[in-house]
């Protein structure tokens, strides 16, 4: 009985040796530099031959190459071996269903030395591949990660003749390859088979075979959708919202046709009632309304989407990915690298509007603020849209896309699994700075925390006037010093792209509330003087001083944006740490001062064409969507990027095309979100609390007698905070109002 066993073992060994020799004879096509075809000479084709041979040897000797430890019941090593053999036989028989398996594999590689380190293959074809042998045989797509450090260490590099910024460019370590195997093969089994095939085709000195190539989280096959409880809740919730929109709109239409009175609560969800509040623009000829803020808000919002778009754009599978290292030395890249300045515009406006609205309320109530109600209104007006986005991420987000890039970018729901509650409490910037659920919501957290702290500044300012400016100014300077000290202590560099600890830098200098207080306080102080000294009238200024102010403002903004550009050029020495430590906080504050001049000049009639443009009625309507756009835009960008299944090209033109793509979808969804969530909340709030029913104050204020007793003046709801008890202007509907900062970016 032993003799036949030995003969079988010998035959299997000879068969394996013959195939290995044939593979080596053909291996002029190196794994990472040579040409490959989808047929016999490719890794994809040879994989099924070698995997079947390995299974035959294992069955003869009783030795398994790998045992699956995966918990999922669909995986079975014996069935995997059987299905691989069936695919191999059908391939040799030129059956189309089987040829689809190697056809869907990624090809090795194209543009490798320009940073193209992924070959995705054809995901949809793989997961759709199927055949019937009495039982189903289905395809499973896996994105394998091959450690190529051994190969790249043999490459003789070009040196000084190739000019490139290289402070962040490192040797590639991982090449990602799309593979298609039977759905019965576990990730562990596929990993072992792939390593076996690579070792026999290309040897052991090209790929680090000790590195795990295939992981379960990066494998996917078609499986029946199993809805979780949160998924069912989300479907029911969104269905109810649509029902409310339809029912309320029908009620509005019917009552209008009848000429019958309407109940405000029943109109809360009416599209017919709320849509005109978004799209109808009525020019308020009132010197007390700061129209230019709408333009500043809208441009800053577009800049936010633009900057975040580049962050996602960089992660796409570019065939020329290394182009990034020369792109960062272009002046155009400064719009992205210093794009965070647009956030300081919003913090400035937030402080200004907070002070203006609070002073109006305290004048009406003789110096009192209803702080609990102020906090309550702030929370219920901001949170619904945020909560809906969190619900979507934790439920239906996972069904929004699939594919190789989804493995890499479609992980937002995992970030929310443990951190969603911090987002709804607006403490995520401190509680989970490395895994914020809605990544851009750090701003909402900072702004909300500043809102809760605002009475500490507003009440002293109202009661003591300029005397309170001294301690407030000292506090702001201390916060600036704290940021400078943090930079120096942690050796943070001038540019983020130069920093080796970007996540730590974000946690310590970008997300914390205390690092944003100086810019916000500049807005508060500016709002104080604008309200007490300037409201309702225009201050004349000599032409030469107006020109000087505009030159200084634009010069400051240009210096903040492009001043450090020369430091990033390849032949420029690195900046000292103190330069980066001073530039980061001072650029934020100086930017806010420049924005302050623009607001003051436009408010006082010194803005000319700039004021006409920023005050354009189009921006008034657009600004009413800015809050929803801010909350929604990042998830739109991530979904659009994660759904990609083909290679892309890195260039500014391609990035702008993608920006328009993302911006258009975000705008559309923001209109729906405003009508379905934000506007109804404002309507319900008005129906219950009666906010907005008070008659407007006189348009022309009386003479200012003191800093604290000036009469209430009219202020557009587009500008005034909506959470501090301020009466709304009847000709501008409440939908235009937003917490204390309408822009929220």
* Mean pLDDT over each residue of the chain, to the nearest integer: 84
Strand partners, 595: none
pLDDT in tens, 367-413: 888 899 999 999 999 999 999 999 999 999 999 999 999 999 988 99
Q: What angle do CA 422, 424, 426 make, to 5 degrees?
A: 65
pLDDT, greater one: 710 or 364 = 364
Q: Where are the domains of the chain?
A: 37-66+73-221, 281-689
Task: Give yes or no for a contact between 172 and 32, defined as CB atoms under 8 angstroms apart.
Answer: no
Predicted model pTM: 0.85
**Residue tagged 């809360």 (tokens):** 268
Q: Quote the pLDDT of residue 208.
A: 82
Distance CA 266, CA 278 (A): 19
In DSSP notation, 189-228 reads: HHHHHHHHHHHHHH-SSSS-TTS----GGGEEE-------
Nearest to 138 by CA among 177, 86, 92, 195: 86
Q: Quote the pLDDT of residue 134.
A: 64
The rounded Cα 372 to chain-centroid distance in angstroms is: 33
**Tokens coding 287:** 């010197």
In DSSP notation, 547-561 reads: HHHHHHHHHHHHHHH
Cβ neighbors of 376 (< 8 A, separation 6 or more) are: none
Torsion of CA 584, 585, 591, 595, to 10 degrees: 150
Task: Tell me: pLDDT of 683 over 80.
Answer: yes
pLDDT in tens, 503-557: 999 999 999 999 999 999 999 999 999 999 988 888 999 999 999 999 999 999 9
Segment 287-292 shows an average pLDDT of: 79
Segment 617-643 shows an average pLDDT of: 94
DSSP state of 446: H
Q: Quote the pLDDT of residue 167.
A: 53
Residue 181: strand, helix, or coil: strand
Q: Quote the pLDDT of residue 407.
A: 93
pLDDT in tens, 449-481: 999 999 999 999 999 988 999 999 999 999 999
**Tokens coding 627:** 């809050």
DSSP-derived pairing of the beta strands 118-119 and 174-182: parallel
Segment 620-641 shows an average pLDDT of: 95
pLDDT in tens, 216-251: 999 999 988 899 999 999 999 999 999 999 999 999
Nearest to 361 by CA among 454, 287, 453, 277: 454
Alpha helix segments (H runs only) across 466-507: 469-490, 502-505
Task: Give yes or no for a contact between 144 and 106, defined as CB atoms under 8 angstroms apart.
Answer: no
Residue 650: strand, helix, or coil: coil
Distance CA 583, CA 560 (A): 8
Task: Tell me: pLDDT of 136 over 90.
Answer: no
Segment 712-723 shows an average pLDDT of: 32
Task: Tell me: pLDDT of 714 over 80.
Answer: no
Residue 503: strand, helix, or coil: helix
pLDDT band at 363 (very low <50, low <70, confident <90, very high): confident
pLDDT band at 152 (very low <50, low <70, confident <90, very high): confident
pLDDT in tens, 162-207: 444 555 677 888 999 999 999 999 999 999 999 999 998 888 877 8
pLDDT in tens, 60-94: 655 555 554 544 457 888 899 999 999 999 999 99
Cβ neighbors of 551 (< 8 A, separation 6 or more) are: none
Q: Quote the pLDDT of residue 496.
A: 82
Task: Tell me: pLDDT of 29 over 70.
Answer: no
Segment 558-575 shows an average pLDDT of: 87
Report how far apart the first and last C-alpha atoms of the chain are (Å, whole number): 79
pLDDT band at 727 (very low <50, low <70, confident <90, very high): very low
**Residue tagged 């073992």 (tokens):** 9
The rounded Cα 50 to chain-centroid distance in angstroms is: 43
Segment 100-115 shows an average pLDDT of: 87
**Tokens coding 112:** 């490798």
Q: Quote the pLDDT of residue 38.
A: 46
Q: What angle do CA 549, 550, 556 make, to 5 degrees?
A: 90
Distance CA 694, CA 680 (A): 20
Task: Tell me: pLDDT of 695 over 50.
Answer: no
Q: Quote the pLDDT of residue 627.
A: 96
């Amino acid at each position: 009985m032993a003799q036949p066993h030995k003969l079988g073992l010998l035959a299997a060994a000879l068969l394996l040796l013959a195939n290995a020799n044939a593979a080596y004879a053909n291996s002029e096509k190196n794994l990472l530099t040579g040409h490959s075809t989808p047929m016999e000479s490719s890794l994809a084709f040879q994989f099924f031959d070698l995997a079947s041979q390995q299974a035959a040897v294992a069955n003869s000797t009783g030795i398994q190459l790998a045992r699956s430890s995966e918990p999922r019941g669909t995986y079975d090593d014996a069935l995997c071996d059987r299905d691989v053999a069936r695919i191999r036989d059908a391939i040799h028989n030129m059956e189309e269903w089987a040829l689809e398996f190697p056809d869907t594999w990624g090809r090795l590689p194209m543009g490798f030395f320009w940073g193209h380190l992924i070959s995705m293959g054809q995901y949809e074809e793989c997961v759709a591949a199927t055949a019937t042998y009495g039982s189903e045989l289905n395809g499973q797509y896996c994105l394998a990660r091959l450690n190529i450090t051994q190969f790249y260490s043999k490459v003789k590099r070009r040196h000084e003749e190739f000019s490139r910024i290289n402070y962040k460019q490192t040797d590639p370590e991982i090449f990602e390859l799309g593979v298609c195997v039977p759905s019965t093969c576990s990730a562990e089994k596929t990993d072992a088979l792939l390593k076996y095939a690579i070792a026999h085709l290309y040897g052991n000195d090209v790929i680090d075979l000790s590195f795990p190539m295939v992981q379960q989280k990066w494998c996917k096959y078609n499986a029946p959708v199993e809805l979780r409880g949160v998924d069912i809740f989300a479907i029911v919730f969104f269905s109810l919202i649509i029902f409310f929109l339809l029912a309320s709109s029908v009620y509005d239409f019917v009552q209008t046709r009848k000429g019958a009175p309407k109940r405000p609560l029943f109109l809360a969800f009416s599209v017919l009632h709320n849509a005109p509040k978004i799209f109808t623009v009525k020019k308020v000829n009132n010197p007390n309304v700061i129209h230019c803020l709408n333009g500043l808000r809208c441009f800053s919002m577009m800049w936010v989407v633009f900057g975040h778009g580049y962050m996602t754009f960089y992660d796409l599978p570019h065939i020329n990915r290394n182009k990034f290292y020369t792109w960062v030395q272009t002046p155009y890249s400064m719009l992205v690298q210093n794009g965070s300045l647009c956030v300081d515009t919003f913090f400035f406006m937030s402080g200004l509007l907070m002070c203006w609205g609070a002073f109006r309320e305290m004048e009406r109530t003789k110096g009192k603020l209803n702080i609990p109600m102020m906090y309550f209104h702030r929370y219920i007006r901001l949170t619904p849209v945020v909560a809906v986005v969190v619900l979507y991420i934790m439920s239906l987000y996972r069904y929004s896309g699939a594919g190789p890039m989804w493995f890499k970018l479609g992980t937002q729901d995992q970030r929310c699994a443990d951190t969603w509650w911090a987002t709804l409490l607006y403490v995520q910037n401190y509680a989970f700075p490395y895994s914020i659920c809605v990544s851009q919501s750090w701003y909402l957290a900072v702004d909300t925390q500043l809102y809760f702290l605002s009475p500490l500044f507003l009440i002293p300012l109202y009661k003591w006037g300029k005397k309170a400016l001294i301690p407030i100014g000292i506090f702001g300077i201390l916060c600036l010093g704290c940021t400078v000290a943090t930079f120096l202590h942690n050796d943070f560099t001038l540019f983020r792209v130069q920093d080796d600890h970007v996540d730590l830098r974000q946690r310590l200098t970008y997300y914390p509330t205390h690092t944003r207080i100086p810019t916000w306080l500049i807005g508060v102080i500016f709002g104080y003087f604008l309200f007490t000294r300037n409201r309702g009238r225009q201050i004349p200024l000599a032409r030469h001083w107006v020109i000087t102010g505009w030159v200084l403002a634009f010069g400051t903004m240009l210096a903040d944006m492009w001043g450090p550009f020369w430091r990033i050029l390849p032949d420029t020495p690195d900046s000292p740490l103190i330069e980066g430590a001073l530039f980061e906080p001072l650029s934020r504050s100086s930017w806010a001062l420049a924005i302050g001049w623009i607001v003051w000049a436009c408010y006082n009639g010194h803005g000319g064409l700039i004021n006409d443009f920023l005050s354009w009625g189009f921006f008034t309507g657009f600004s009413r969507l800015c809050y929803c756009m801010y909350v929604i835009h990042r998830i739109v960008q991530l979904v659009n990027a994660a759904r990609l299944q083909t290679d892309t090209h890195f260039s500014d033109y391609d990035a702008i095309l993608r920006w328009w793509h993302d911006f258009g979808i975000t705008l559309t969804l923001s209109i729906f979100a405003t009508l379905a969530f934000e506007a109804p909340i404002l309507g319900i709030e008005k129906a219950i609390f009666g906010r907005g029913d008070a008659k407007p104050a006189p348009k022309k204020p009386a003479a200012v007698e003191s800093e604290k007793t000036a009469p209430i003046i009219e202020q557009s709801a587009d500008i005034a905070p909506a959470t501090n008890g301020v009466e709304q202007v009847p000709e501008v509907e409440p939908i235009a109002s937003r917490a204390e900062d309408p822009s929220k970016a």
